[in-house]
C-alpha cells in the first residue's frame, strides 16, 4: 500500500502544473508570519544544474502546514490554497532562503511534517518535492529512495537543500 501511495505521489507531481514566481520575486523571505506558533526554522539552499553550476533566477514556490498540520485556518486544510506560502527567485549564485516554523503532521495521520517545493527554470525540467525531517518517526525508508522526498536534518534550527534541475 505504501508503494502505491509513493507512486501516486510521484505521478501526481509529474502531472501537476508548477506555480511560477513573479519575475521580481526576492531570493529570501518569510513563509510563516512573525509570531506564528511553532518551532522557528531557517531553510537555505541553492538551485544548480547537474554539474553544480548555479541557476540564477529559478522560480521557487514553497508552502506548508502550520504547526498543527493545517494548510488553512482550522479546520480548513486545503493544500491548493495554503495560508503559509512564499514565492522566491534564486539569486545570481543560485541561492535562496526563508524563515518559517516547522510544519505539523496532518491531524490524525502518519504523514511526516513536510515543506512543499515547486522549482523551475527556463530550459530545465521542473522539480516538485517535499522536505521531510530526519529523525521523524513517520519518515519511511522508502522516502529516502523516492525523488518526491528529500530527508533533511534540522541542525540548530536550520535546514539546507541543494536543488538540482536537469
Of 81, 82, 80, 89, the closest CA to residue 103 belongs to 82
Tens of pLDDT along the chain (166 residues) come to 444 344 434 444 445 689 999 999 999 999 999 999 999 999 999 999 999 999 999 999 999 999 999 999 888 788 999 999 999 999 999 999 999 999 999 999 999 999 999 999 999 999 999 999 999 999 999 999 999 999 999 999 999 999 999 9
Compute CA distances 124 → 20, 116, 117, 164, whole Å. Answer: 13, 19, 16, 10
Which option is the CATH number for 2-164: 2.60.130.10, 3.40.50.2300, 1.10.287.130, 1.10.240.10?
2.60.130.10
The position carrying cell 515547486 is 118
Q: What is the pTM of this model?
A: 0.90
Q: In the chain, what is the straight-line distance between the N-terminal and C-terminal CA atoms, in Å?
A: 30
CB atoms within 10 A of CB 132: 21
Of 131, 125, 63, 61, the closest CA to residue 90 belongs to 61
Compute CA distances 59 → 9, 26, 79, 109, 128, whole Å. Answer: 21, 10, 19, 31, 12
Amino acid at each position: 500500500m505504501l508503494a502505491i501511495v509513493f507512486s501516486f505521489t510521484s505521478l501526481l507531481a509529474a502531472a501537476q502544473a508548477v506555480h511560477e514566481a513573479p519575475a521580481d520575486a526576492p531570493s529570501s523571505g518569510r513563509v510563516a508570519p512573525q509570531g506564528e506558533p511553532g518551532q522557528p526554522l531557517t531553510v537555505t539552499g541553492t538551485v544548480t544544474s547537474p554539474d553544480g553550476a548555479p541557476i540564477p533566477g529559478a522560480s521557487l514556490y514553497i508552502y506548508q502546514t502550520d504547526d498543527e498540520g493545517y494548510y488553512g485556518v482550522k479546520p480548513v486544510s486545503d493544500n491548493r490554497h495554503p495560508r503559509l506560502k512564499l514565492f522566491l527567485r534564486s539569486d545570481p549564485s543560485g541561492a535562496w532562503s526563508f524563515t518559517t516554523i516547522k510544519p505539523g503532521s496532518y491531524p490524525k495521520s502518519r504523514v511526516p511534517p513536510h515543506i512543499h517545493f515547486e522549482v523551475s527554470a527556463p530550459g530545465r525540467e521542473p522539480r516538485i518535492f517535499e522536505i521531510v525531517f530526519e529523525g521523524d518517526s513517520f519518515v519511511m525508508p522508502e522516502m529516502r529512495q523516492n525523488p518526491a522526498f528529500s530527508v533533511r536534518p534540522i541542525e540548530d534550527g536550520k535546514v539546507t537543500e541543494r536543488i538540482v534541475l536537469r
